[in-house]
Structure 1
């Protein structure tokens, strides 16, 4: 990804997109193959929630160059590198993302044992040094174990981040073939105008495609070098040799890049039709002042500056997806996020090319950024705007470390607003959807509900989607129209739903997805019963109770619950005694308290209840009505284990405050 001034980011429809039977319910997020006979009218009536889309790419860019993300530094052991990468995948799972875009060829080198190029210096610190394992094989295996797509990210032309060929390992192709390279702006590049160079780059990339089970090939925005003041690209001799038929060097340069894109598209899909091919170009193709087909912007034009005719690639169908780096805020006058999102949506419309937006996570809350990026809601508003454009099928975030940093809570806000449920990756092309699996068991266990299933045929689905519906409603395709009932995707044939409320009845369904992500019919539903109403008592003598040293213990009153109760003098400080409980699911709960009463106890004891919307305080006269359950009220509680009810000492009334027991009952 690029790092430049404010006007640049700081650091023929070939395949119709078909959704398969269930996926056709995903509210037109892609062109759909005809669903099962009779389903169309029913699907049209489905109410869908735009906050829980069925299909959406959610991805992290994991950059290797300069150790931006992974590995975090050179010289780490193989085990340390692997632990770091697993942590990135775990972050993606936590944030309900379904893909990672990992840089595997940052500077004409490799994160796999390539027969074409040396081991990357960003792994060990020494170009050509074996890291002791195969990183790409490891990354694919670990990503797929979590049902996360892995798109391998290649920088096509950059050879080195310095301009000294003597620093390259002696066996480096750019050193053995000095005529293939040029220096510009303090860096070394392969010359895009030499046909042998283009063939070599494609061969190097195709080695990874053919040998590894990657889900996509991803090129970034570096084509011809970004302009450097006072320098000219030194390719005049190459143009003289190969530029016949072109009126000027600029059209010839664009054609060189176009050939790389077109040929990569052909070679990837000839080898593996299911592998996605995508590019993340600079966010501005051309400005409308230069070209009426351009956007209402006034920044650098990638068509002219780096010879990337990204609009043509979409219109010719040479890419499966396009991920423009729209790294500017809403309202930025030079390049408004909304203007560019609308422009790219118009470009991809009716082409079959999917649009994923490159999002500038690195800017949110970062020092030195425009004040707009100090707003926690800036990024989430980008996705809200994207909902107005059905062509926007997902987002990719630069970069992983910034998603993890979550400055000013911007990522937490975005995930809460848009990623409350998992999502299936958008469909890549048409195919026969796999048959419905059969659920073989659905059993209540101590940790939730354990599910097992078997495939519906011998074709071997790539992954499965697990749905959970409250109660036992009649089978209805609308249950699967969006992701509100989707709880998991997995490549296994079993799963334990640890979020299941033990008191509630559910019906589970499982569907299968093949390599192009077409989804088949769901299985027959499998119901599990609940245990009845949830109710729990927490006594002061149990593990769910905590209190500070100023709380005494007594069994003086015969109205106590259990063996004893706790008491404390009132003070002008909270110092609460806490009752901790596990709430199985969000909902309405009645909370009751038990205390012994005495005329010398406190007439205005504050009970603090941690509700889903914030703490609420209820005062209780503990001089009366003791020795029984006293109703504090009905509260909306969030799921989880936490300090639920506190007895505060902060009261102006005289007399001991008492903490004895609470009872929580789901309504």
Structure 2
């Protein structure tokens, strides 16, 4: 899966190539591989606490479109700079800005995890004592990038309450076969007997016990030193078959084969040992860290094995020696995310058939099932016609509803989620991700004690909440809002209809609160394994009659911009901690401020920015009105440090990008994006 798996399912006898390393290669390979996922003071005092609310009962009716729990994630691939960093050699600030943008994308689409590749080619995105720095960071394997990317990424993900799944490729050493191109101290270079070349690439030999121990040690270094939430392996075990080539491991088989008479059984046993041992070591070191695998979507075909699926594609059990069904049935892994990268109705590998097969496979086990989704195919020229339909991905999630064992989805890859070709991902978000979702709970831990809300008050930006934890086991919180001041009802927490957000802080500001209505807030606590407490006693906040008004700062979750936008805190006229800036360009690359508009109507839109004589004299502000985009040019050479009125505009209700700052201007000087304010009039 690095770059991510392509289809290998149309002509089962065909030998698949390896993984795509770029978009163009992806389209070509698919054809081959088919053949084989301090605001202001309060304006109104809060009402008295309501009675404590018990945990929801299983008999409560729920809406399948707003599930309480769902794994929602995307893969962020680093090999060949597929997603991040966008190219090797970026400076630290640029790398970090790019990664923050990926996390903000995940938050915008209401995901709750990212799966980030931190060991793509037997190298490391952290200062590992076992392997060299990754070449995908600096362009030179072994070169220090000047910071600790893994520490940075984990901290940034957790600040947004996103789980961080560290993605490791176990056996791949290089996408070439020249050992002299490896760093001088690379273990594969120091131990030439550990490696072999196959299909134009270099791999560690899975049959050598010292190799297996080394790989486990390299992974465990990250587990023990960093606060990751999961260890994630992709589908690269033994290499995918290449026509006319034989894996050169006969000598290792003769030396280490033990009682095996069949080399295929021995190879499978080698991979089984890695899975079983590594999972055991992860759980022994940190019981709350999960161990997951994202295998190729087909285990075996029913024509080969009656336990297999009604498919006719490449079989991972036989081709890459991955006995994924065994790992599930033995409980060696915590979750499995098969790459079911085919459309519904595809004859050789129907998504619906495979979703049902995997659901049956995990049934009765503690292993959680997430579906790997091919966002990279939606709207791409050359793919099957089904992938030109905006609803195809959304229909996959509708299919998942038939199988309660399917607990979520992971999308490959981040750049395809962002591209949103033909609106396929927007359709998924609209149809299935209209509300946040808690991650699925795992293990048998007891839920923490309920927190207690200590304050709930109206402020300029909405309603500000603060609470006190109920127990030390708390890792994060879920915040709920119910209209009015209703009595206690556990069923209102049975799905996500009233879920506002999750956070690791003990404060939250509801920027979507109605200015005139009455709302009751509840907070629950979750531990590291996502077991949820009962909800706190409710706190009711009454309306003041003041108009809706919200400020969106560039540092907040409602702001998005490309990596071309820099960050500065130089000017004292800034709003908040910093602001964003970019050079003019004759292309569409706006920075956007996202606003949840409570109801259709007229709204005043204001902009805040620091001014400088060298800034742009005609910065285009785009206002996405109910009747189309309006552009207002602002002279950012003056008028800084205060709110600049852009006008009153008709806005539609809902959450969307409302105000953009465009780079497309013929005048010179930086354009600046700092903050916007939207007020109902």
Match of 1:363, SS state, is coil
Counterpart Cα distance in 1 of 2:327 and 2:508: 41
**Contact 2:515–2:548 (CA<8 Å) still a contact in 1?**
no
1:496 corresponds to which of 504, 509, 512: 509
Residue 472 (str. 1) matches residue 465 (str. 2): no
C-alpha deviation, 1:39, in angstroms: 7.1
1: CA distance, partners of 2:495 / 2:350: 30
User: 5 Å matches for 1:221-240?
Assistant: 221-240=235-254
Q: How far, CA to CA, are the matches of 1:39 and 1:513 in structure 2?
A: 15
How far off is 1:522 after superposition?
1.0
Q: What per-residue deviation string (whole Å, max 9, x for no partner) do you get for residues 177-216 of structure 1?
A: 0000000000000000000000000000000000000000
8 Å Cα contact 2:370-2:406 kept in structure 1: yes
1:122-170 residue CA offsets vs partner (Å, 9 max, x unmatched): 0000000000000000000000000000000000000000011111111
Question: Per-residue CA shift, 1:630-664, capped at 9, x if unaligned?
Answer: xxxxx995578979xxxxxxxxxxxxxxxxxxxx9
| C-alpha contact (below 8 Å) 1:156/1:201 kept by paired residues | yes
2:372 aligns with 358
The structure 2 residue matched to 1:89, chosen from 99, 103, 124, is: 103
Q: 2:523 aligns with which of 490, 510, 517?
A: 510
CA contact (8 A) 1:500 1:584 kept: no
**Equivalent residue for 1:525?**
538
Equivalent in the alignment of 1:453: 467
Structure (1 or 2) with the larger CA radius of gyration: 1
Is 2:201 the counterpart of 1:205? Answer: no
Is residue 271–residue 322 contact of structure 2 (8 Å, CA) maintained in 1? yes
**Residues 1:298 and 2:333 are matched in the alignment:** no
Q: 1:155 to 1:636 in 2, by over 3 A?
A: closer
Instruction: Report the equivalent of 2:592.
Output: none
Shift in Å, 1:501:
0.8
1-structure distance, mates of 2:526, 2:201: 44
Q: Distance in 1 between matches of 2:204 and 2:8?
A: 28
Question: CA 1:155–1:450 in 2, change beyond 3 Å: closer, same or farther?
Answer: same
TM-score (norm 2): 0.75
Distance 1:590 1:159, change over 3 A: closer
Q: Cα distance, 1:45 vs. partner?
A: 3.8
Please point out which of 241, 244, 247 is paired with 2:261: 247
- C-alpha contact (below 8 Å) 1:501/1:584 kept by paired residues: no
| Alpha carbons of structure 1 residues 73 and 638: separation in structure 2 relative to 1, 3 Å | closer
Aligned partner of residue 218 in structure 1, secondary structure:
strand
Give the alignment partner of residue 393 of structure 1, picking from 392, 407, 420. Answer: 407
Cα RMSD (Å)? 2.5
Structure 1's 104 and 534: CA in aligned 2 closer, same or farther, altered over 3 A?
Answer: closer
The structural deviation recorded for 1:335 is 0.3
Cα distance in 1 for residues equivalent to 2:310 and 2:198: 31
Q: Where does residue 332 of structure 2 map in the other structure?
A: 318
Preserved contact between residue 611 and residue 637 of structure 1 (Cα < 8 Å) = no
In the TM superposition, what whole-angstrom CA distance separates every residue of 1:476-527 from its partner, at most 9, and x where no partner exists? 1101000110001000010110010101100000011111111111111000
In the other structure, the counterpart of 1:155 is 169
Q: Within 5 A, what are the aligned runs for 1:110-121?
A: 110-121=124-135
Equivalent residue number for residue 123 of structure 1:
137
User: In the alignment, does 2:277 pair up with 1:275?
Assistant: no
Per the TM alignment, residue 531 of structure 1 is displaced from its structure 2 partner at its CA by 2.6
Structure 1 residue ranges without an equivalent (≥5): 12-37, 537-581, 592-609, 616-634, 644-663
Distance of aligned partners of 1:126 and 1:315 in 2 relative to their CA distance in 1, 3 Å threshold: same
Is residue 502–residue 584 contact of structure 1 (8 Å, CA) maintained in 2?
no
Q: Which residue of 2 aligns with 1:100?
A: 114
For residues 413 and 446 of structure 1, the distance between their equivalents in structure 2, rounded to whole angstroms, comes to 33
Q: Distance in 1 between matches of 2:149 and 2:499?
A: 32
Partner of 1:61: 75
Q: Is the 8 A contact 1:104 1:110 kept in 2?
A: yes
Match in the other structure for 2:580: none
- Aligned counterparts, 1:337-486, within 5 A: 337-457=351-471, 459-486=472-499
Structure 2: which 5+ runs fail to align? 10-15, 21-25, 27-52, 550-594, 604-623, 629-650, 660-679
Query: Which residue is equivalent to 2:272?
Result: 258
Within 2, Cα distance between the matches of 1:611 and 1:190?
57
Partner of 2:60: 46
Q: Aligned in 2, Cα 1:454/1:296: closer, same or farther, shift over 3 Å?
A: same
> 1:532-577 CA distances to partner (integer Å, 9 max, x unpaired)?
59799xxxxxxxxxxxxxxxxxxxxxxxxxxxxxxxxxxxxxxxxx
Whether the aligned pair in 2 keeps the contact of 1:279 and 1:319 (CA below 8 Å) is yes
Matched with 2:88 is 74
Q: Which deviations, in whole Å up to 9, do the C-alpha atoms of 1:214-264 show, x marking residues without a partner?
A: 000000000000000000000001000111211200000000000000001
Which residue number in structure 2 is paired with residue 550 of structure 1? none
Structure-2 separation of matches of 1:60 and 1:124: 24
Q: Which consecutive segments of 4 or more residues in structure 1 shift more than 4 A?
A: 2-6, 8-11, 532-536, 635-643
Aligned length: 534
How many angstroms apart in 1 are the aligned matches of 2:165 and 2:599?
A: 36
CA drift at 1:584 = 5.0
Cα offset, 1:530, TM superposition: 1.2
